[in-house]
Chain A
């Protein structure tokens, strides 16, 4: 199969969703145009931004960092070591090696040193690892960005991630989540840093192909704690649909982002986000507060009484989580000493 763009070289990537197939050089152009168009469409970034790129060692975040650097943005990487045996070490190696290849040294946060490694924290408070991981990551994205005077934090969420999330939110009629779901989460009062998802237009296959062709050595193994993640169920369903009807995912998400869609509204600063109150019932106070901490829901942000991070509760969800882990450790130690 020949490249549909240059019509000379052999195609390396076929994209049924775009009725296209590209040779490596033309695919690089296509991919970068998809990302820059996604940035332009929703004004995710400006040339004056100082960007904190949150990297996990996986394909999406390393590809995001690579594209942003190639596009001339000012970036630094943040790696959060989750404290997962073996997997975290291997992921960190990939991040450090990639960063070194681009003359960078990433900022590293080690959750074990912060007293909250994910596997132990999940055991202590009997919560799902992915839920805790989300709370902790959001906290450090914001904290590191604010402390380092970054203007924006960027994550590698792609089209598959965003449509899986959208499907989950629709199936459970999560009106508050639907109202806020967007590639741009504006910053706001009290130190909440703007968050963006520049890869929202590209699929996982496309980021993997880009990473492979660019020679980016990313971690291909899946996080061992995410095997039962519900997002995988939604991804599986959407990928079955995509197999039969290529292009459905991008139509689904673009249609959702259309300003005329009554299910959502244009991104607003947290201070004006009161209208997006989360539905009552079905979730506990902690999870609602965690979302409020994370995404600016429920009025004016204030400083956490414990750590000073922006929150809509007395103390932020991260500090509440840390406190629960501390108490669980104390109880366990007391039982052992009896």
Chain B
């Protein structure tokens, strides 16, 4: 259930979603999710977030992997 007091971190390529208490910096949220910063971009709606951006409680962010193989 949606919790307005938490940050929702979505990792669509891993089909995974985390709820983390805020406020937290993007780089801390990535560490929490076990994701290295040089492999992803982080978005909030139509906004691209820098790694030191402070995310507030109730926000939903998407962590998009940029690594392509083959």
Contacts and interface: CB of A to CB of B under 8 A. Distances in A.
Interface of A: 1, 11-14, 21, 24, 58-60, 130, 133, 160-161, 203-205, 207-209, 212-213, 220-223, 225-227, 229, 231-232, 235, 239-240, 242-243
A72 B60 CA distance: 38
Given A220-B12, A221-B13, A243-B38, A209 B48 contact: yes
A11 B50 contact: yes
B50 A239 contact: no
Contact of A232 (B13, B52, B69): B69
Contacts of A229: 69-70
B69 A222 contact: yes
A11 B53 CA distance: 9
Contacts of B49: 12
Contacts of B13: 220-222
Nearest to A230: B69
B5 interface: no
A236 to B, nearest CB: 8
A205 B49 CA distance: 12
A13 B37 CA distance: 12
Given A205-B38, A205-B41, A209-B48, A235 B69 contact: yes
Contact of A13 (B36, B39, B48): B48
B50 A21 contact: yes
Nearest to A213: B48
Nearest to A156: B68
A62 to B, nearest CB: 12
Given A209-B41, A220-B13, A239-B39, A204 B48 contact: no
Given A13-B48, A13-B50, A212-B48, A239 B70 contact: no
10 contacts: A1-B52, A58-B68, A59-B68, A130-B70, A205-B41, A209-B41, A220-B65, A222-B68, A239-B67, A240-B36
A24 B47 CA distance: 10
The winner among A12, A130, A208, A227 for most chain B CB atoms within 10 A is A208
Contacts of B66: 59, 204-205, 207-208
B48 to A, nearest CB: 4
B64 interface: yes
A308 B54 CA distance: 60
A14 to B, nearest CB: 4
A13 B26 CA distance: 12
Contacts of A60: 68
Contacts of B69: 130, 222-223, 226-227, 229, 231-232, 235
B70 A226 contact: yes
A12 B53 CA distance: 9
Given A12-B48, A204-B39, 18 more contacts: A1-B50, A1-B53, A12-B50, A58-B68, A60-B68, A205-B41, A209-B48, A220-B65, A222-B65, A222-B68, A223-B69, A226-B70, A227-B69, A231-B70, A232-B67, A232-B69, A239-B36, A239-B38
Contacts of A220: 12-13, 64-65
A160 B65 CA distance: 14
Contacts of A14: 50-52
Contacts of A1: 50, 52-53
A229 B67 CA distance: 12
Contacts of B12: 220
Nearest to B39: A239
- The 5 tightest CB contacts between A and B, nearest first, are A226-B70, A229-B69, A208-B66, A226-B69, A14-B50
Contacts of A235: 67, 69
Contacts of A213: 48
A64 to B, nearest CB: 13
A212 B70 contact: no
